[in-house]
Structure 1
Amino acid sequence: MKKYFVYILKCSDDSYYVGVTSNLSRRIEEHQIGKYKNSYTFKRRPVVLVFYTEFKEVALAIIKEKQIKKWSRAKKEALINNMFEELPNLSKKLFK
């Protein structure tokens, strides 16, 4: 059974990159060596893997990747630090 991974990298400029792959170790290596010169991480190396989770269906992995990409930095850091109970409180709320 094929596995898919959603992962978060911390870049050298302290930003986060969220991606999806079916081969986590290969993809991290590609980020580290700068395989794709136009990629977000190319000029932000070295990168550090700070979070990943596994999926059995690629469609679900892609949905989760897109969701996490929209999250605030604080919400991504709560996920990275296994502070799952904080995630609902860090959702953007617009009150006036």
Structure 2
Amino acid sequence: MTDSEKTHQDWHLYILRCKDGTLYTGITNDLNRRFEEHQTNSPRCAKYLRGRQPLTMIYHTQFDNKSLALKAEIKVKKLTASQKKLLASGQLVINEIADTH
């Protein structure tokens, strides 16, 4: 891995559906690891998700850096559950709600 590859790390915004139907939005630089932490109730699992497994990832998208992912996360968290479902189904585009790409 080159130095430029070490400093460039993709970030992901994701939305999870819990077994009770509620939605959880987060960001990470390792999507598979983070999903596994949430799904298995590991000590690093978000408190909100404890006991709400199984989880389904209904949406994820990638960003070039943490700052862009955080800005998008803030905007997505302000959406209603219905709007988040539209985002997950492709009927709402992340660029329409966030100046991120």
Are residue 45 (structure 1) and residue 46 (structure 2) matched?
Answer: no
Structure 1 residue 38, shift from structure 2 partner: 6.0
Structure 1 stretches of 4+ with a deviation exceeding 6 A read none
For residues 1-96 of structure 1, what are the structure 2 equivalents within 5 Å?
Answer: 1-36=8-43, 39-84=47-92
Aligned to 1:7, what secondary structure does the other structure show?
Answer: strand
Equivalences, count? 86
Question: What TM-score comes out, normalization by structure 2 length?
Answer: 0.79
Residues 20-40 of structure 1, C-alpha deviations (whole Å, 9 max, x = no match)? 000000000000110136611
Note the aligned Cα RMSD (angstroms): 1.6
Question: What TM-score comes out, normalization by structure 1 length?
Answer: 0.83
Unaligned runs of 5+ in 1: 89-96
Structure 1 residue 66, shift from structure 2 partner: 1.2
Residues 2-55 of structure 1, C-alpha deviations (whole Å, 9 max, x = no match)? 100000000001000000000000000000110136611112111011100000
Q: Is the contact made by 2:38 and 2:46 (CA closer than 8 Å) also made in structure 1? A: no
